[in-house]
């Protein structure tokens, strides 16, 4: 059972060696590959780093001399900036590359781009890519650490880590909680990583959405599947609303956005079915008025911006642990 976090752990000044943390991975490409203890190790390390964000001097020397490259081949606001700030706070040097300004547009392969970054002494590459498995592909071919910043509809591991960190911070536990993940599950890397993390930490998970976006096959992962949102809300401790992924849908999966909202949007009326202390989460970016009522997104029950804040500490922990493993 994971212990409630406190602000007491000491802040590491330099990258740990393998023996210090028990962490043995140079890369983080999926939650599926992690054990519950490895997830807890990241959360505990994030807890130590969270205190850095509220200091007057928001910086520690843990990754001084290291170079992080943010290689984002798909758009991002939260993940890219969060990794960039996390690296700054650990005193690493940061370079940002987007697809539009890279030689990927001239036909260079992802592997060649990454090998060139490594030849320039990149220590850590954070990759966001539209292809599932892209970060694992690089991790197997590079000495540099590779962190998955989201690969197609496969996984978004740091999003799931910041989500479970936020639940743990607000609820004091993960085990035994009932988490409803609502919406576009089929195309959601956030959903897949959350399912793995929540089940490993002992939560109960229910997926809710249209039959076309939440097929029964997901039950094989050990979760419940339903298409009736109103039946789930009264029992949920956490509702995590997912964005409709227009860019990944190759055909219409529901008749219209207004019909989607009518059946699966968290409206003010539906929110009255929730327990008073239920958390409302969303990974962002939000489609206001579609998957969530705009006022609810800004309400006291919403922890959406806490998720963003916690993402910084979680990403500091991931960079620190992976860089330390590479040193070991």
Q: Which residues bind ligand CP (CB under 6 A)?
A: 76-79, 150, 156, 159, 283-285
Least distance (Å) from ligand CP to the CB of residue 233? 23
Cβ proximity to ligand CP: between 172 and 285 the closer is: 285
Beta bridge partners of 281: 240
Cβ proximity to ligand CP: between 76 and 287 the closer is: 76
Least distance (Å) from ligand CP to the CB of residue 318? 14
Least distance (Å) from ligand CP to the CB of residue 189? 9
Cβ proximity to ligand CP: between 60 and 318 the closer is: 318
Cβ proximity to ligand CP: between 62 and 239 the closer is: 239
C-alpha 257/C-alpha 134 separation (Å) is 31
Cβ proximity to ligand CP: between 193 and 325 the closer is: 193
Structure tokens at 313: 């500490």
C-alpha 79/C-alpha 305 separation (Å) is 13
Cβ proximity to ligand CP: between 79 and 261 the closer is: 79
CA distances, 202 to each of 73, 158, 188, 223, 304 (Å): 34, 19, 21, 12, 23
Name the burial class of residue 92, with classes exposed (0-12), middle (13-18) and buried (19+) by CB atoms within 10 angstroms of its CB: buried
Q: Is 133 left (phi over 0), alpha (psi -120 to 50) or beta?
A: left
Beta bridge partners of 72: 98, 128
Residue 146: φ, ψ to 5°: -120, 125
Least distance (Å) from ligand CP to the CB of residue 13? 29
Helix, strand or coil, per DSSP, at residue 52? helix
Q: Please identify which residue in the block is written with the tokens 């536990």.
A: 173
Least distance (Å) from ligand CP to the CB of residue 42? 17
Least distance (Å) from ligand CP to the CB of residue 170? 18
Helix, strand or coil, per DSSP, at residue 164? helix
Cβ proximity to ligand CP: between 150 and 209 the closer is: 150
Interhelix angle for 78-89 vs 304-327, to 10°? Answer: 50
Residue 285, preceding peptide bond in cis (omega within 30° of 0): yes
Least distance (Å) from ligand CP to the CB of residue 262? 25
């Amino acid at each position: 059972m994971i212990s409630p976090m406190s602000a007491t752990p000491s802040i590491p000044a330099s990258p740990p060696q393998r023996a210090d943390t028990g962490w043995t991975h140079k890369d983080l490409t999926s939650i599926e590959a992690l054990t519950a203890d490895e997830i807890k190790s990241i959360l505990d390390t994030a807890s130590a780093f969270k205190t850095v964000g509220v200091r007057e001097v928001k910086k520690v020397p843990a990754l001084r001399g290291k170079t992080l490259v943010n290689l984002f081949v798909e758009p991002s606001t939260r993940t890219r900036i969060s990794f960039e700030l996390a690296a700054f706070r650990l005193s690493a040097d940061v370079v940002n590359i987007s697809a539009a300004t890279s030689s990927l547009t001239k036909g260079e392969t992802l592997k060649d781009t990454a090998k060139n970054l490594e030849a320039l002494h990149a220590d850590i590459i954070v990759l966001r890519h539209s292809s599932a498995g892209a970060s694992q592909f690089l991790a197997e071919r590079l000495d540099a650490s590779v962190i998955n910043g989201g690969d197609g509809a496969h996984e978004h591991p740091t999003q799931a880590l910041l989500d479970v960190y936020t639940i743990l911070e607000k609820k004091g536990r993960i085990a035994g909680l009932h988490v409803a993940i609502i919406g576009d599950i089929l195309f959601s890397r956030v959903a897949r990583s959350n399912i793995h993390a929540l089940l490993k930490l002992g939560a109960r998970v229910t997926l809710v959405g249209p039959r076309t976006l939440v097929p029964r096959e997901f039950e094989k992962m050990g979760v419940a599947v339903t298409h009736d949102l109103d039946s789930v809300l009264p029992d949920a401790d956490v509702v995590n609303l997912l964005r409709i992924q227009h860019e990944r849908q190759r055909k219409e999966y529901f008749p219209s956005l207004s019909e989607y909202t009518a059946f699966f949007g968290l409206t003010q009326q539906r929110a009255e079915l929730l327990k008073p202390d239920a958390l409302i989460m969303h990974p962002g970016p939000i489609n206001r008025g579609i998957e969530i009522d705009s006022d609810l997104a800004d309400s006291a029950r919403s922890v959406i911006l806490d998720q963003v804040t916690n993402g910084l500490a979680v990403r500091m922990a991931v960079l620190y642990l992976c860089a330390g493993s590479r040193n070991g």
